[in-house]
Amino acid sequence: MTTIDWDAAAGSFDEEPDHGLLDPAVRDAWAGRLESWLPGTRADVLDLGCGTGSLSLLAAGQGHRVTAVDRSPRMADRARAKLAGTGAEVLVGDAARPPVGERVFDVVVARHVVWLLPDPAAALKHWFGLLKPGGRLVLVEGVWNGTGLSATALTALLSAHTERIHHEDLAPDSRLWGKRVDDERYALVARAMPPHRHTEVVDVHLILRRGPDVLLARRSGTGYADGLLHMPSGHAEDGEDVRESMIREAAEELGLDLEPEELKVALVMQHRGPGGGARMGWFFVAEHDPARPPRNAEPEKCSELDWFPLADLPDDMVAYCRAGLDGYRAGEHFMIHWHRDGEPIAYVPGGAGRAVPLAAAGETTGLVHHIELWVADLAEAERGWGWLLGRLGHAPYQRWAHGRSWRRGETYVVVERSPELAAGGHDRRRPGLNHLAFHVADRAALDTLVAEAPAYGWRLLFPDRHPYAGGEGHYAAYLEDPAGYEVELVADSRPRP
C-alpha cells in the first residue's frame, strides 16, 4: 500500500514518486477507471491536490483540458514538468478553495484529499459551486488501518448537495494497487443536479460622465482581470433591485451618494467571461457633479481612478466593459457579449467581435435608415466628420475604398467620394440638403464641442449670435466644414412662448 504523509504546512501529499503510478500496469488500470468517470467528449477537468500530476497527465492524455492545483510549490513544479506540452495549467493554491477565479468545470477530481481537509463539508460545498450544470465530482478515498474517510461518511456529506451519487468499490481491483488489499478503498462520482430554473448573477456598471469623458478604474488584487481598466461595478445582492445595487456600489467604490433619479439605464447586456457562467449586466449612466468628486474608496481593489475620453477609449480594458461602452456610444440598448473558452479577458484591438446588438421591438417604418454625403476629399471629410460623429456617440461602422460610415442605433451616416461624383462643390443655399441637426447632452458638452471644432476643420457660423442663433431659448451651435456642409448641434430647445 502507498504510504501517505500529509504535510500540514504545505497542504499536499508527499508520497511515493508519481502518486503511486510508476508501474505501467497500475497506471493503465487507473487510466481505465478515469476514462469511465470522465465525459466521453473533451471536458474541462480540475484536479485538486494533484501532487506530481499523475492523474492530471492521464486526463490530459485522454484529450481533456486540465487545470491542476496543489498547495506545495515543490509538487506543483514537478507537476508542471510532467505535464509540459499537454496544455494543462498547474496552479499553487489550497485545494479547499482553489485559485481559479470565476471559472467553472465539467469535472472536479480529488484523490485522497477530502479526508485530510479541516472542513470537508465547506470544501465540498465550494467544489459543487465550481461545476457546470450537470457536472460531476469524482472523489477517490478510503480507510487505511482505521484512518481515513469511509464511503458512508462521505456519502452523507455529499447528500446535502445531490442525490445522484455513484459508488465504486476499488479494493477488489488489485491492478489499481499493484497487490491485493483488504481495507476500504472506493470512488464516489457525484453529479451536480441541473438547476430547476436557469439563474444568473446580475452585474451593475456605472458610466459616470464628465462631459466627453467617462470614469474608469484599474483593477488590482481581485484575482480577476487585474491590471485592466473597467467601469465601477459590482453585482446585486439578495433583496436588492438593480438600481439599489448600483447606488450601493457607487458608495462603496467611489464614495458617491447617488440619488435614484440620477441613474438612467443605458444598456442591458448578457455576457459570459472565458470559462465562466453567464451574467446579466445593467449599465447605468449618471452625470458627474463637481460638488461631489469621486474618490478611490477601495484602494485594495483599485490602483487607478481616472477620466478617459469616451470617443477614444484605451485598449487595456476588460473586453465586455469595452463592448458595453462601445454599444452605449452606438446607441444600443440590448446586447449579448459571449466569450469562448480560451479567449483573453482583455479587449483585443481589431479582434473578432463578440458583441451582438439585439434590436428592440418597435415599428421602424418611417425612421431614418442612413444619410449619405458625397464629398470631394474623403480624407478631409473623415477627419472632420469622424471627430464630430465620434464625439456625438456614433461608432465606426463601415470602411471601404471610397467611403466611411458611423453608426448609432439603427441609423448611420456615410461620407463617400464616389467614382460617379460630378464636378462642383456643395452649396447649402441651393436646392438640396441644407444641414444636419444633432442633439447634444447639455450646454457644457456643446461648449466643449465648439471649442474643439476648429482643430478638426469646422468653423462656427453666426458667431455674433451664438449660442442663440436659432432664437431665444434655442441653445445651439451651427458649424460648417471645409466642404461647406453645415451641422446644427442642439443642447436645449425650450418651447417658444
Residue 34, amino acid: L
Residues 234 and 337 reside in one and the same domain: yes
Which tens digit of pLDDT belongs to each residue from 57-102?
Answer: 999 999 999 999 999 999 999 999 999 999 999 999 999 999 998 8
Single residue among 171, 191, 211 that ends a domain in this structure: 191
Report the CATH number that the domain containing residue 316 is assigned in CATH.
Answer: 3.90.79.10
| pLDDT recorded at residue 152 | 95
CA 282 – CA 18 distance, rounded (Å) = 49
Residues 44 and 91 reside in one and the same domain: yes
Does residue 364 lie within any of the structural domains?
A: no
| pLDDT recorded at residue 312 | 87
Residues 70 and 136 reside in one and the same domain: yes
Q: What is the mean pLDDT of the chain?
A: 89
CA-to-CA separations, 267 to 59, 158, 345, in angstroms, rounded: 42, 41, 20
Report the CATH number that the domain containing residue 133 is assigned in CATH.
Answer: 3.40.50.150
Does residue 363 lie within any of the structural domains?
A: no
| pLDDT recorded at residue 277 | 79
Does residue 489 lie within any of the structural domains?
A: yes
Single residue among 191, 211, 231 that ends a domain in this structure: 191
Quick check: 353 pLDDT over 70? Answer: no
- Burial track 302-335 (b if 16+ CB lie within 10 A, e otherwise): beebebbebbebeeebbbbbbbbbbbbbbbbbeb
Range of weakest confidence among 27-31, 223-227, 351-355, 378-382: 351-355
Residues 456 and 374 reside in one and the same domain: yes
CA-to-CA separations, 250 to 208, 228, 231, 271, in angstroms, rounded: 10, 19, 11, 21
CA 89 – CA 80 distance, rounded (Å) = 8
Does residue 365 lie within any of the structural domains?
A: no
CA 10 – CA 337 distance, rounded (Å) = 40
| pLDDT recorded at residue 10 | 32
pLDDT band at 196 (very low <50, low <70, confident <90, very high): low
pTM greater than 0.75 (yes/no) = no
Tell me which range, 68-72, 273-277, 340-344, is most confidently predicted by mean pLDDT: 68-72
| pLDDT recorded at residue 450 | 96
| Region 177-203 average pLDDT | 84
Does residue 196 lie within any of the structural domains?
A: no
Quick check: 236 pLDDT over 50? Answer: yes
Q: Which domain holds residue 488?
A: 370-493
Quick check: 107 pLDDT over 60? Answer: yes
Does residue 484 lie within any of the structural domains?
A: yes
**Chain centroid to CA 435: how far?**
41
CA 201 – CA 104 distance, rounded (Å) = 14
Phi, then psi, of 369 in degrees rounded to 5: -85, -55
pLDDT band at 1 (very low <50, low <70, confident <90, very high): very low
Count of structural domains, the chain: 3
pLDDT band at 195 (very low <50, low <70, confident <90, very high): low
Residues 304 and 350 reside in one and the same domain: yes
Helices within 182-318 (DSSP H only): 242-254
| pLDDT recorded at residue 438 | 94
Residues 151 and 225 reside in one and the same domain: no
pLDDT band at 494 (very low <50, low <70, confident <90, very high): low
Which tens digit of pLDDT belongs to each residue from 432-479?
Answer: 999 999 998 788 889 999 999 999 999 999 999 999 999 988 999 999
pLDDT band at 204 (very low <50, low <70, confident <90, very high): very high
Range of weakest confidence among 149-163, 355-369, 394-408: 355-369
Which tens digit of pLDDT belongs to each residue from 33-69?
Answer: 999 999 999 999 999 999 999 999 999 999 999 999 9
Phi, then psi, of 315 in degrees rounded to 5: -85, -25
pLDDT band at 358 (very low <50, low <70, confident <90, very high): confident
Residues 335 and 397 reside in one and the same domain: no
| pLDDT recorded at residue 334 | 92
Residues 341 and 394 reside in one and the same domain: no
CA 76 – CA 99 distance, rounded (Å) = 13
| pLDDT recorded at residue 245 | 96
CA 345 – CA 355 distance, rounded (Å) = 14
| pLDDT recorded at residue 87 | 94
CA 11 – CA 98 distance, rounded (Å) = 12
**Residue percentage of the chain with pLDDT more than 70:** 93
Does residue 74 lie within any of the structural domains?
A: yes
Single residue among 136, 166, 191 that ends a domain in this structure: 191
Residues 386 and 307 reside in one and the same domain: no
Residues 218 and 321 reside in one and the same domain: yes
**Residue percentage of the chain with pLDDT more than 90:** 71
Which tens digit of pLDDT belongs to each residue from 481-491?
Answer: 999 999 999 98
Does residue 77 lie within any of the structural domains?
A: yes
Q: Do 27 and 21 form a contact (C-beta atoms < 8 A)? A: yes
Give the strand pairing for 165-169 and 184-191: antiparallel
**Residue keyed to cell 482505521:** 146
Quick check: 150 pLDDT over 60? Answer: yes
Residues 181 and 124 reside in one and the same domain: yes
Residues 401 and 349 reside in one and the same domain: no
| pLDDT recorded at residue 197 | 61
